[in-house]
């Protein structure tokens, strides 16, 4: 778990003001240890993502939460899809066959 | 892991030739065979050799400068992209609020299967959870307790305060995600949407209604029973009332939040003609206007 200063030293292209703004906008959600934000690995990766979107790709603040929301929704959907796929794989052959055949007919 | 540039004592933009020179000078100084008794020298010499092994090879140096390998020459882990963490136990705070229930039963069951937070070592306040609740105009006007059903099947009783505006949020302390390590639970934030009413409109803390009156009531005056958000009130229609005239019912509006004052109900008179204009009315109107012309549009 990293503190604010440590995150800033690992990701040099992000300023302390930026990081605080992004936390205040809930784009990165560090856990709170009392009043100190504490960043885990996923949070740090999130900060890198924001750095890419905002500093390198120059996406503005209006579009950023839309993009983050879409990314998060996609990840959730991928996880669900993976799970459905796992369940189908576990089925006996005839059921798997039936499902796969049905999926390749239609729209 | 020490910075190899620092170990060799050169700047990051030093040329390959400079790096070679720096290495040679340090190697000469620190070589164990030239300093047999100096234990430190041997340690430092090892470091210098390793550093030069990295920076002296131009391909390795470029990779290091780009961050693809670290000072020991090992590939830096690709655990830098957010997608590696998405959905994992360390990224629960980024789970989307997206609701997949419209995709069918299979998906709503999957969605409900949220893993509980792995306990972490630090004492942390749980996350706030956002909900949306739609209420009737009158429920919002008078205040109401509503039951909110949560995705996991449990329910929450929410007190909708009297006079709440559409878009305001009700905060229920401690009803969000559980905290960990003994930390407090987060809050439930319920955004309240107030559905419009076919008859009552809101203007600040006042209620506005259109009150239809007959032609004869407009001319002669009269009385009418008007509904308000709490009861029926009898109003007096003044003689000679045109459309747009406002009758104010004091104290029949909404309670200002946090105050004891109440707004008013404004009844906007609207002259309504009968559904069918019969011959008698027409004749009356024609006769009347000959003798009593007047121009309501003279100021336009």
Find, in chain A, the residue whose alpha carbon is nearest to that of B100.
A77
β-strand A31-33 against A36-39: which pairing, if any?
A: antiparallel
Least confident of A74-83, B46-55, B128-137, B280-289: A74-83
Q: At A76, phi and psi to the nearest 5? A: -60, -45
CATH of the domain at B269: 2.60.260.20
Query: What does pTM read for this prediction?
Result: 0.43
How many distinct structural domains can be found in chain A? Answer: 2
Could you tell me the residue range of the domain that residue B168 belongs to? 129-194
pLDDT class of B297 with cuts at 50, 70, 90: very high
Residue A86: its chain B contacts at CB < 8 A?
A: none
- Identify whether residues A1 and A48 lie together within a single domain: yes
Could you tell me the residue range of the domain that residue A84 belongs to? 64-107
Q: Which residues pair with B170 in a beta bridge?
A: B190
Asked whether the beta carbons of B233 and B252 are under 8 A apart, the reply is yes
pLDDT, tens digit (0-9, with 9 covering 90-100), for B53-101: 889 888 888 888 887 777 776 666 555 678 878 877 778 888 776 666 6
How many distinct structural domains can be found in chain B? Answer: 3
- Identify whether residues A97 and A78 lie together within a single domain: yes
Query: Which of B194, B209, B243 delimits the end of a domain?
Result: B194
- Identify whether residues B190 and B216 lie together within a single domain: no
What totals of helices (H) and strands (E) does chain B contain, helices first?
8, 11
- Identify whether residues B109 and B78 lie together within a single domain: yes
Find, in chain B, the residue whose alpha carbon is nearest to that of A34.
B124
Nearest to B106 among A46, A79, A84 (CB): A84
Find, in chain B, the residue whose alpha carbon is nearest to that of A29.
B93
**In the predicted model, what is the mean pLDDT of residues B280-285?**
93
What totals of helices (H) and strands (E) does chain A contain, helices first?
5, 3
- Identify whether residues A36 and A70 lie together within a single domain: no
- Identify whether residues A81 and A31 lie together within a single domain: no
pLDDT at A19 over 70: yes
- Identify whether residues A52 and A69 lie together within a single domain: no
From CA B149, how far away is CA B189, in angstroms rounded? 14
Q: Is residue B298 part of a domain?
A: no
From CA B9, how far away is CA B31, in angstroms rounded? 17
Res A103: pLDDT = 82
Could B98 and A73 be called an inter-chain contact, meaning their C-beta atoms sit closer than 8 Å?
yes
> Distance from A49 to chain B by nearest Cα, in Å?
6
Asked whether the beta carbons of A34 and A74 are under 8 A apart, the reply is no
Name the residue with higher pLDDT: A105 or A49.
Answer: A49
From CA B207, how far away is CA A27, in angstroms rounded? 40
Please give the C-alpha separations between residue B237 and each of B25, B221, B240, in angstroms, as whole numbers. 106, 5, 9
Res B10: pLDDT = 92
pLDDT class of B118 with cuts at 50, 70, 90: very low
pLDDT class of B122 with cuts at 50, 70, 90: low
Within the 14-73 window of chain A, which residues sit less than 8 Å (CB to CB) from chain B? 29, 31-34, 38, 40-43, 45-46, 48-49, 69, 71-73
Residue B123: its chain A contacts at CB < 8 A?
A: 33-34
Q: Which residues pair with B133 in a beta bridge?
A: B192
- Identify whether residues B175 and B87 lie together within a single domain: no
Query: Which of A22, A44, A59 delimits the end of a domain?
Result: A59
Asked whether the beta carbons of B213 and B234 are under 8 A apart, the reply is no
- Identify whether residues A6 and A53 lie together within a single domain: yes
- Residue B76, chain A, CB below 8 Å: the answer is no
Res B218: pLDDT = 95
ipTM above 0.85, yes or no: no
Res B120: pLDDT = 39
Q: Is residue B118 part of a domain?
A: yes
């Amino acid at each position: 778990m990293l503190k604010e200063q440590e995150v800033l030293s690992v990701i040099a292209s992000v300023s302390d003001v930026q990081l605080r703004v992004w936390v205040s906008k809930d784009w990165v959600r560090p856990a709170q240890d009392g009043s100190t934000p504490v960043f885990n690995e996923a949070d740090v990766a999130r900060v890198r993502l924001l750095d890419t979107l905002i500093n390198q790709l120059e996406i503005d603040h209006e579009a950023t939460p839309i993009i983050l929301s879409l990314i998060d929704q996609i990840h959730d959907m991928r996880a669900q899809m993976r799970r459905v796929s796992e369940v189908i794989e576990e089925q006996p052959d005839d059921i798997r066959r039936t499902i796969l055949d049905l999926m390749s007919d239609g729209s | 892991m020490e910075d190899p540039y620092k170990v060799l004592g050169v700047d990051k933009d030093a040329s390959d030739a400079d790096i070679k020179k720096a290495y040679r000078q340090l190697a000469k100084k620190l070589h164990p065979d030239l300093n047999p008794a100096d234990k430190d020298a041997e340690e430092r010499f090892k470091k210098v050799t390793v550093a030069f092994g990295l920076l002296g090879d131009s391909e390795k140096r470029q990779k290091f400068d780009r961050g693809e390998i670290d000072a020991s020459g090992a590939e830096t882990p690709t655990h830098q992209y957010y997608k590696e963490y998405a959905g994992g136990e360390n990224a629960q705070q980024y789970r989307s609020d997206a609701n997949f229930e419209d995709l069918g039963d299979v998906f709503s069951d999957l969605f409900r299967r949220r893993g509980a937070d792995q306990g972490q070592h630090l004492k942390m306040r749980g996350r706030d959870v956002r909900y949306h609740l739609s209420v009737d105009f009158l429920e919002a006007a008078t205040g109401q307790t509503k039951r909110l059903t949560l995705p996991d099947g449990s329910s929450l009783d929410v007190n909708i305060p009297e006079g709440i505006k559409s878009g305001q949020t009700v905060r229920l302390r401690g009803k969000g995600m559980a905290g960990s390590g003994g930390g407090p639970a987060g809050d439930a934030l319920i955004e309240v949407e107030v559905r419009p009413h076919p008859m009552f409109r809101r203007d600040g803390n006042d209620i506005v209604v259109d009150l239809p009156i007959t032609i004869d009531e407009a001319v002669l005056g009269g009385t009418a029973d008007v509904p308000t958000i709490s009861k029926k009130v009898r109003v007096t229609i003044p003689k000679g009332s045109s459309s747009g005239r406002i009758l104010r019912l004091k104290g029949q509006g909404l309670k200002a939040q946090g105050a004891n004052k109440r707004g008013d109900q404004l009844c906007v008179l609207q002259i309504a003609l009968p559904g069918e204009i019969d011959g008698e009315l027409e004749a009356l109107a024609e006769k009347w206007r000959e003798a009593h012309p007047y121009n309501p549009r003279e100021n336009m």
